[in-house]
Amino acid sequence: MLTLLKLLKDGRFHSGQALGAALGISRSAVWKQLQNLESDLNLSIHKVRGRGYQLAAPLELLELDQLAAGPWPVTVHHSIDSTNAEALRSIERGVTAPFVIVAERQTAGRGRRGRKWVSPFAENIYYSLVLRMDGGMRQLEGLSLVVGLAVLSALRGLGISNAGLKWPNDVLVANKKIAGILLELVGDPADVCHVVLGIGINVNMKLANEVDQAWTSLALESGAAINRNVLVSALNESLLKYLELHEAMGFSAIQAEWEQNHLWQGCEVSLIAGVHQVDGTVIGIDQQGALRMSVDGEEKVFSGGELSLRLRHDS
């Protein structure tokens, strides 16, 4: 099926006879594969008598030969449950970190707090970087915020100048989510462990009825399709830069830069933890990446993976 998809990706018409000849199969077998492409990948294929078959829009696929020059080994999957899940399985199999896993589609993509991450085929970036951490807890301090800053830098490099950060794990444009981050840890965080840096970026997606929050994409913001191979390469380089800085100097070295890019700095917010809610004003973050808030005139600090930050309706 993937070979057929590569023949069709240019968005032009291809006859069933030509496709069959290229694949070494009958025209009826081509027809069955086309039906599978439509049903399995939710792709729209035009069928015109006398002209053949055409994708509703051209596809730009992730190409390993374009990504192999990056700082880490890359594996490209056609379809997978989630890149983070495959990363965790790879750790169990003993694959040597660091390495990157990307996919054209996720069938069970995950966001923070168990939320579904909508993952249509060949439209967005579904990316996981696996790192081995030997230095104990210091290397984990503020790590998700470091990753957010790296993602932001990559997006701005592609012209999304009005993107900004939301504590702790989101990148927004005009309060619409354009990227999210999910970190997962295995091993002993006080000694030797592996951390999976999962990143999802809305790239060329223009319609997604399943998303239950305000969202946008690079294509919607820029008005043009984005080359995802270029974006993955830019993301690799940006992550390398910020991770090396974090490893050498700790999170405090980029604390001020993160605060400068926090869209909700000084805003009135509600911090949600399960059924509990704390209302206050964002002051900033501390040297470990925890959120500093003014609550009833008193500064309080909050951290934890299950916290959710929202703007107050009356702010």
Give the residue with greater pLDDT, 117 vs 242.
242
Q: pLDDT tens digits, residue range 172-197?
A: 999 999 999 999 999 888 888 999 99
Where along the chain do the CATH 1.10.10.10 domains lie? 2-55
The CATH number corresponding to 268-311 among 2.30.30.100, 1.10.3720.10, 1.10.10.10, 2.40.50.1070 equals 2.30.30.100
Alpha carbon of 193 to those of 63, 130, 139, 199: distances in Å?
30, 10, 11, 19
Q: CA 300, CA 81: separation in Å to the nearest integer?
A: 39
Q: What pLDDT, on the 0 to 100 scale, is given for residue 198?
A: 97
Q: Which CATH class is domain 64-260?
A: alpha beta
Annotated binding site: 82-84, 106, 110-112, 177
Q: Which CATH class is domain 2-55?
A: mainly alpha
Give the residue with greater pLDDT, 109 vs 8.
8
Grade residue 315 by pLDDT with cuts at 50, 70 and 90: very low
What is the percentage of the chain residues whose pLDDT exceeds 70? 94
140-143 — which CB contacts under 8 Å span 24+ positions? 140/185, 140/189, 140/195, 141/250, 141/251, 141/287, 141/288, 141/289, 142/246, 142/251, 142/254, 142/255, 142/258, 142/285, 142/287, 142/288, 142/289, 143/183, 143/195, 143/197, 143/246, 143/251, 143/289
Average pLDDT, the chain: 91
Query: What pTM, to 2 d.p., does this model score?
Result: 0.91
Q: pLDDT tens digits, residue range 212-271?
A: 678 999 999 999 999 999 999 999 999 999 999 999 999 999 999 999 999 999 999 999
The answer on pLDDT for 113 being more than 80 is no
Q: pLDDT tens digits, residue range 54-92?
A: 998 888 899 999 998 999 999 999 999 999 999 999 999
Could you give the residue numbers annotated as active site?
112, 177, 310
| Length of the chain (residues) | 315
Annotated binding site for biotin: 82-84, 106, 110-112, 177
Q: DSSP per residue over 132-195, as a string?
A: EE-SGGGGGTTHHHHHHHHHHHHHHHTT-TTEEEETTTEEEETTEEEEEEEEEEEE-TTSSEEE
Where along the chain do the CATH 2.30.30.100 domains lie? 268-311
